[in-house]
Amino acid sequence: MRLTLRTLAALLGYPSADLLAHVDDMRAGLDEEAALPGVARRRLDPLLDRLAASDLLDAQSDYTELFDRSRKLSLHLFEHVHGESRDRGPAMLDLAGQYMQAGLLLESSELPDYLPIFFEYASCLPPAEARGTLAQPGHVLAALEQRLRERESDYAAVFTAALALSGARPDREALDELQKNAPSDDPSLIDEEWEDKEVTFTGAHDMGGPTGIVAQMRAKGKAAGANRAPEE
């Protein structure tokens, strides 16, 4: 599962020359580890094929247009759970604290709820714990998968794969609530939000407030995931 999660993290990140040069290696790693069910694995092929054949600037432009111009497709988990509320800062600190407890120190300028980083974190956990970690924001992953499918984007397969690894069925009521309250993609509103103060944090996590990511991965007080598949 570790290699598969790291591959999903790489695929969901901003395209780089290194990524495009190693698509075949990622494909081989997915097949060798065989952590994904056949259907979920095959759904990744169109994305892998496109990236392998893409010009770097085209791949980067497509990625930016898809993820950076739509709040509905934000790759930051807490954007979908907390939006711009004051709860987002403490949630971010709690997640960063969990990374530190796992011995991970963020060197990226990205916030800790950035999904490629979250997948990397899950890849460092024992398999059962990794599945549980992925299942907690299952309704967010399912919403992103659905929205990307509606846009006929091959990136939807990354979320199909993550949900398959989690072995969980996202809470339907929480998912419906998330979809109903999806943010607007009005360009003028997006531009205004970019001018707002960014959520930041400094210093070590004081371990105050709620502990465990499951406390943060809720929408309107509803549990994020349920009905996990039996452990292997």
The pLDDT profile of the chain, 232 residues, written as one tens digit per residue, is: 999 999 999 999 999 999 999 999 999 999 999 999 999 999 999 999 999 999 999 999 999 999 988 888 999 888 777 556 566 667 777 887 888 887 777 776 778 889 999 999 999 999 999 999 999 888 889 999 999 999 999 999 999 999 999 998 876 776 666 666 666 555 454 445 444 434 333 332 222 223 333 333 333 333 333 344 444 4
Q: Which two tokens stand for residue 32?
A: 């060798």
Q: How many whole angstroms separate alpha carbon 152 and alpha carbon 158?
A: 13
* Residue spans of alpha helices (H) in the chain: 2-12, 17-21, 23-33, 38-43, 45-53, 56-63, 77-81, 88-101, 115-123, 127-135, 138-150, 156-166, 172-180, 187-194
**Three-class DSSP category at 13:** coil
Question: Per residue in 129-149, pLDDT tens?
Answer: 999 999 988 888 999 999 999
Residues ≥6 apart with Cβ < 8 Å to 79? 71, 113, 183
- Predicted local confidence at residue 70, as pLDDT: 80
Helix (H) or strand (E) holding 226: strand 225-226
